[in-house]
Amino acid sequence: MSDDKLTKTFGQDKQKLMSILSGDWMEIPEKSRFGKCRSVIEFEKLNRIGEGTYGIVYCARDTKSDKIVALKKMRMEREKDGLPISGLREINILLNLRHENIVEMKEVVVGKSLDSIFLVMEYCEQDLASLLDNMAAPFSESQVKCIMLQLFKGLRYLHENFIIHRDLKVSNLLMTDNGCVKIADFGLARKYVIPKKPMSPRVVTLWYRAPELLFGSEKQSTSIDIWSAGCILGELLSHKALLPGRSELHQIDLLVEMFGTPNETIWPEFLTLPALEKFTLRQQPYNNIRHTFTWLSEAGIQLLNSLFMYDPSKRLSAEDAIENPYFSEAPHACEPEFMPSFPQHRLKRRQSDRNKEEQKQQLNDSFKDFGNSSDSFAKKRKQSF
């Protein structure tokens, strides 16, 4: 039975629920209409600070505790059967996570309508994407190390708890005024089990997407987060997106240009990947990381190459990344409390061209280049690029 048959609204505020046992309509007491959830009217919305594929985020004040929080309104426009599965996963995962480098979800609050559901998150003053786009000077290498160590500590915690984030990027990394970096936006996160079950490769924003996903693999592991972390490190060091592809094929071309053409020697499962049945790759035998980061130390080059291994099983773990020699050599990572603060950029969050492009990619990410039809694949059959 549909929701509109189970629940009716009488007048402005009175709601009735049909009894499963008797079939009679029963008025819902006002104190019970929200279940155990608080009402969103207990929060004073201050301003809108972000919008993504899975929700709109507001800065708000909890009138009960007088604390500033982030209210994430879940997108329900297309949902007819309750909460979207991505929202349920996000709630389930975040309620069980407690780590200083993971954004904390405090509770779920509801509005008067069935499609008005909000996640109450801890408030962080900035996100890294907006800072990178608006800072007068880029982060120093010492500050980059501080950010990355916190990211890897958050990833270590997630991966130890069998959770893959599946959408790491600079706009999903928040930073508080005391320099604490927090991983946010778990709308695509999944718990994984052993043996691994197949999952859709249509995850992770294009610029940060691991090669196994681009080539259509449904086998996913924590290594896809590690690849994304490598893209973030490269972006922080180079002060621009490392692999800003315009399409899946262009993204693959950028991978080949930067890291060389993959083969069965360095990646035993490479030729079994689904997308390779439809086209061939141009041959480029060189790894250009060293030429891209000419000023970086040998330890830094080694770390990047370890994060960007084509074979997912050979990619560095978050634990090993934390222990990498790059983080123990000068310049050393600064302490989080010494990270710069940027109050002048708080109202510019998620308004940059970078974030607009990321949202466009998320909304239109339908694997058009690999195609879901034989016509699309036929046009690209044995295409060399």
Specify the pairing of strand 383-384 against strand 279-280. parallel
What are the C-alpha distances in Å from 130 to residues 73, 125, 169, 175, 344?
21, 11, 12, 11, 11
Scanning the chain, the segments in alpha helix (DSSP H) are 3-6, 85-95, 128-134, 141-160, 211-214, 223-238, 248-259, 289-292, 298-307, 318-322, 353-364, 374-380
- As given in the structure block, the two tokens for residue 305 are 């190459």
Residues annotated within a binding site for ATP: 72
Active site residue 13: no
The DSSP 8-state label assigned to residue 177 in this structure reads T
| Contact indicator for 184, 124 with CB cutoff of 8 Å | yes
Beta-strand runs (E) in the chain: 7-10, 14-18, 25-27, 38-39, 43-52, 55-62, 68-74, 105-110, 117-122, 126-127, 163-164, 173-175, 181-183, 190-191, 279-280, 383-384
Strand arrangement, sheet containing 181-183: 126-127, 173-175, 181-183
**Matching residue, tokens 């008025």:** 27
What are the C-alpha distances in Å from 273 to residues 216, 248, 286?
6, 15, 22
Tell me the three state secondary structure of residue 369: coil
Q: What are phi and psi of 375, to 5 degrees?
A: -65, -45
Active-site position among 62, 167, 253, 369: 167
Active site residues: 167
